[in-house]
Chain A
Amino acid sequence: DTGVSQNPRHKITKRGQNVTFRCDPISEHNRLYWYRQTLGQGPEFLTYFQNEAQLEKSRLLSDRFSAERPKGSFSTLEIQRTEQGDSAMYLCASSPPTGDYEQYFGPGTRLTVT
């Protein structure tokens, strides 16, 4: 069990560019979550997968954001036409299929849009 991993750890991009982040959950965790955290705030829920099905999306997830989990393992979060307001830490978490409601968080990807 190597924990949840996220890549890249840091991304600097210019406004208007597209970016994609990857999350590898703990193996056998069927639930995967994306959160966004801005400075001085707690993480805010973005979206949630159970296996490959995207079950819920927050209203924070505008049309420029899309997340996938094609084989029920890793997930990607893409932001199109980035804006300065997208600058934040993007956190991924996973949780097992039964019993434990705990979410295990990755280290995050820090996005800076210039």
Chain B
Amino acid sequence: AQSVTQPDIHITVSEGASLELRCNYSYGATPYLFWYVQSPGQGLQLLLKYFSGDTLVQGIKGFEAEFKRSQSSFNLRKPSVHWSDAAEYFCAVDNFNKFYFGSGTKLNVKP
């Protein structure tokens, strides 16, 4: 069965520090992978997506993610975190038009 694992429930980083959020998936075929961000009271907003090609993808707000097939991972990174990045982040796999989401990682940003 398809599954998405985000092993970190909460992460706290200082403003200006680098960030990496982990995502591992279990999927039989070449996956379509996504990262979404959800702020309180807001809908899910797409940060970036991977379909094929270059395994390092750039997204909005300075985020990037790297697809590593050998590790079944699609980790999200940002070199310098801003206070406005505090939110919950979800990794998702597309399986024939159904999205399977991880349980999310809540990011806190210290001043």
Tell whether A and B belong to one assembly: yes
Q: Which of B4, B43, B49, B104 contacts A91 (CB under 8 A)?
A: B43
Partner of B43 from the list A4, A48, A55 (CB cut-off 8 Å) is A4
Are A41 and B104 touching (Cβ within 8 A)?
A: yes
Number of A-B contacts (CB under 8 A): 57
Q: How close is A44's CB to chain B, nearest CB, in angstroms?
A: 7
Partner of B90 from the list A33, A42, A45, A102 (CB cut-off 8 Å) is A42
- List A contacts of B46 (CB < 8 A): 102, 104
- Band of interface residues on A: 20 to 34
Q: How far is the CA of A41 from the CA of B90 in the complex (A)?
A: 9
Q: A31: which B residues are within 8 A, CB to CB?
A: 97
Can you name the residue of chain B whose Cβ is closest to the Cβ of A44?
A: B101
Q: Name the B residues within 8 Å of A33 (CB-CB).
A: 97-99
The verdict on A108 contacting chain B, using a C-beta distance below 8 Å, is yes
